[in-house]
Amino acid sequence: MFSKINNSLLAALFVVLLGFVVIVFFLNSDKNERTFRDVLVDIDTTAVTEMVIYSRANNFEPLKIFKENESWFVNLKNGKTGDVADSKMTQIFTELVSIKPKRLASRSKDKWGDFQVDSSGARVQIKENGKTSLDIIIGRFNYQQQPRSVSTYVRLSNDNDVYEVDGFLAMTFNQNADAFRNGSIIKDDFNSWNNLKFEYPADSSFTLTKLGGKWMIDNIQTDSAKTINYLRRISNFSRNNFADDNVIETSLGPAYKLTISNENLEFIEVSAFVDSVNNIVTSSQRPEVLFDGKSFGNTLFVGKNSFF
């Protein structure tokens, strides 16, 4: 009789212990699952008012991008600000919200340097109405050949865990202030243009005119493919070669000038002021911005032979 009681007691005790083990296992399993983050970036892009980036490209000094009266600006080293194109901010936000964990790469602080998610990484802080909603460090990229893919290692600043995510994020965030600025020089619909006047030194000036749907120079029809390629190229022309600290010597006027007019008699003027040192380009569409035209001036100011 005592044997039966002992066996029953042991069986009951075994069931209790087994249940305890099962409960502990599931609790620990659930805990481990929760520590692997499903979401790294949770921001409301419409509420973002400020972004601060610390990157190697800017010597890890704070690069501040901020929103004012629905427009975006970036602080420059000379104490001034430059405007940021809405399309650039859209690209930045698209990159941020697409950061999703692909795999957990490490949970050890000792591995931060290997993945460059320590002080050598690019740190991005996002603020919504003055409160920090994201603080993330973007590390080195990882290129895989088969199948071909590029990923980046990231870490939330308040977390030890390092995650691998899709994309080459350094291309977006590890850049200096000029890379974020609006570099537009000409932005217009070339289909509405009917006259382009090129004013050059000596006797090299000429005019490109649309007559009866055909483009002409000196009453000679130009090569249609070359002409359209040029017009399309300059109709959305932008560069990030800024010359903020230069002063234009306007007394002699521009050395080169391109005047574009359309069917509504609206004008766009692009001028190049050239001396022995500088080649400063200005546009009537953005007269407050100066560009260094040394690297792109001949792309805008072409000769008449370019159209034949």
Pair of tokens at residue 126: 């996002």
Angle at 278 between CA 273 and CA 284, to 5 degrees: 35
Residues of the chain with pLDDT > 70, as a percent, come to 88
pLDDT given for residue 21 in this prediction: 46
Q: Is the pLDDT of residue 97 over 90?
A: yes
pLDDT band at 247 (very low <50, low <70, confident <90, very high): confident
Contact 292, 279 (CB under 8 A): yes
- Sequential DSSP letters for 63-89: EEEEEETTEEEEE-TTS-EEEE-HHHH
Contact 198, 206 (CB under 8 A): yes
Q: Is the pLDDT of residue 24 over 50?
A: no
pLDDT band at 78 (very low <50, low <70, confident <90, very high): confident
Run of H or E residues at 178: helix 177-180
Integer Cα distance of 222 and 207 in angstroms: 12
Pair of tokens at residue 172: 């977006």
Render pLDDT for 168-215 as a digit per residue (tens, 0 to 9).
999 999 999 999 999 999 999 999 999 999 999 988 999 999 999 999
Least confident of 117-131, 165-179, 237-251, 281-295: 237-251
What is the widest separation between alpha-carbon atoms in the chain? 124
Angle at 221 between CA 218 and CA 225, to 5 degrees: 130
- Four-residue CA torsion sign, 248, 250, 256, 258: positive
Contact 188, 266 (CB under 8 A): no
pLDDT given for residue 252 in this prediction: 77
The Cα-based distances of 53 to 138, 222, 264 in angstroms read: 10, 49, 44
Between residues 225 and 252, the one the model is more confident about:
225
Paired strand residues for 82: 74
Contact 180, 88 (CB under 8 A): yes
Integer Cα distance of 136 and 113 in angstroms: 15
Render pLDDT for 103-162 as a digit per residue (tens, 0 to 9).
999 999 999 999 999 999 999 999 998 899 999 999 999 988 888 889 999 999 999 999
pLDDT band at 30 (very low <50, low <70, confident <90, very high): very low
Best CA proximity match to 198, nearest among 188, 190, 206, 209: 206
pLDDT band at 288 (very low <50, low <70, confident <90, very high): very high
The Cα-based distances of 280 to 80, 100, 185, 253, 298 in angstroms read: 19, 43, 12, 12, 13
Least confident of 7-16, 72-81, 298-307: 7-16
Q: Is the pLDDT of residue 10 over 60?
A: no
Contact 93, 45 (CB under 8 A): yes
Question: Which residue is it, tokens 């217009």?
Answer: 188
- Compute and round to an integer the Cα radius of gyration of the chain: 30
Integer Cα distance of 258 and 197 in angstroms: 6
Contacts of 230 (CB under 8 A, 6+ apart): 302, 306, 307
The alpha carbon torsion through 20, 24, 30, 32 (nearest 10 deg) reads -170
Pair of tokens at residue 70: 């629905």
The total number of residues shown for the chain amounts to: 308
Best CA proximity match to 279, nearest among 290, 292, 270: 292
The alpha carbon torsion through 191, 195, 198, 199 (nearest 10 deg) reads -150
pTM of the model: 0.80
